[in-house]
Amino acid sequence: MLVYTGIDYHKRTSTICFIFPDGKKDVKTVLSENLVKELVNRKNLLVGIEASCGVNHVVDQLKTAGINVKIINPNKFRGIGIGGKKTDIKDAEALAECLKVNFIPEVYHKGIGARRLKSLLRIREQYVQSRVSATNHTRGILREYGITINAGAENFWDEIAGKLEQLDFDILKQKLTDMVFESRRLAAKKRMLKRV
């Protein structure tokens, strides 16, 4: 017989609700770093845990230990939970209850390869956003001094050195030069990620 186990997972602590075959419940809160240790020696668990930051790693560990785990879509689960004031205990209990009646909006557990690829894409996007922000910021500051750069990224890189020389405020010129250098560094990092 299965022990339905709902976990309200957080960075520091996790609340676990066990519903045993006889209907009895046991709720405990553990440090999240001890969550896997808490569960590995228990038998016949069916675990439900909401998708959130860090959950995929925990699910990897639980599955490696032979525990059946379902990752729950928090956007769809939110409307299912137990009424009243929202608490970690109520969330864990609601997860366990929904497992019991097989009413779980499950999401796909991404493998390590998919997570690595997604992380690289996020980093690349962050490089792009940071570079665009820095170049737009530089253009805006230069406009405050009547110095304009033609539209487009290519024009920016072609014209920026000469435009910075037109500034007669050395501290600002140095800070903008640093920002342009950082933009070039980010562009190089983006190109490196493209090759991965």
Helix H, strand E, coil C: the string for the chain is CCEEEEEEECCCEEEEEEECCCCCEEEEEEEHHHHHHHHHCCCCEEEEEECCCCHHHHHHHHHHCCCEEEEECHHHHCCCCCCCCCCHHHHHHHHHHHHHCCCCCEECCCCHHHHHHHHHHHHHHHHHHHHHHHHHHHHHHHHCCCCCCCCCHHHHHHHHHHHHHCCCCHHHHHHHHHHHHHHHHHHHHHHHHHHC
- How far, in Å, are 17, 46, 54, 97 from residue 24 at the CA level? 10, 15, 30, 12
Q: What is the CATH number of domain 3-107?
A: 3.30.420.10
| pLDDT value, residue 80 | 55
Structure confidence by residue, pLDDT tens digits, 64-97: 999 999 999 988 876 555 666 788 999 999 999 9
Name beta bridge partners: 107. 71
* Rounded Cα–Cα distance for residues 50 and 161 (Å): 51
Prediction pTM value: 0.72
- Structure confidence by residue, pLDDT tens digits, 121-164: 999 999 999 999 999 999 999 999 999 999 999 999 999 999 99
Annotated domain spans of the chain: 3-107, 112-195
Residue 187 confidence (pLDDT): 86
Q: What is the pLDDT of residue 104?
A: 82
For residue 159, the model assigns a pLDDT of 96
Burial state string for 23-53 with b = 16 or more CB within 10 A and e = fewer than 16: eeeebeebebeebbeebeeeeebbbbbbbee
For the chain, how far is it from start to end, CA to CA, in angstroms? Answer: 47
pLDDT of res. 94: 92
* Range name among 2-16, 31-45, 65-79 with the lowest pLDDT average: 65-79
